[in-house]
């Protein structure tokens, strides 16, 4: 099966938006708050791999 899927995720995270945005795009910080490995290229066109996927 080769179908594209769309996933939507919504959450309210307490904290300054700038700090949350930076943590989401920083592989080390992302891994720290999700408990799973993260590979993130934080630039336009960059790739990411989070939650084993």
Report if pTM > 0.85. no
Counted domains in the chain: 1
pLDDT of residue 7: 86
Residue 5 lies inside a defined structural domain of this protein: no
Residue 11 lies inside a defined structural domain of this protein: no
Residue 39 lies inside a defined structural domain of this protein: yes
Residue 31 lies inside a defined structural domain of this protein: yes
Question: 3-state class of 40 per DSSP?
Answer: strand
Question: Residue 39 pLDDT > 90, yes or no?
Answer: yes
* Residue range of the domain that includes 46: 17-50
Per-residue pLDDT band at 45 (split at 50, 70, 90): very high
Q: What is the mean pLDDT of the chain?
A: 88
pLDDT digits (tens, 9 = 90+) for 8-28: 989 898 999 999 999 989 999
Residue 41 lies inside a defined structural domain of this protein: yes
Residue 10 lies inside a defined structural domain of this protein: no
Element (H, E) at 31: helix 27-34
Residue 8 lies inside a defined structural domain of this protein: no
């Amino acid at each position: 099966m080769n179908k594209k899927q769309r996933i939507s995720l919504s959450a309210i995270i307490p904290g300054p938006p700038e700090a949350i945005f930076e943590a989401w795009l920083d592989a080390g910080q992302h891994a720290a708050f999700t408990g799973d490995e993260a590979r993130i290229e934080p630039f336009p066109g960059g790739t990411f791999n989070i939650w084993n996927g």
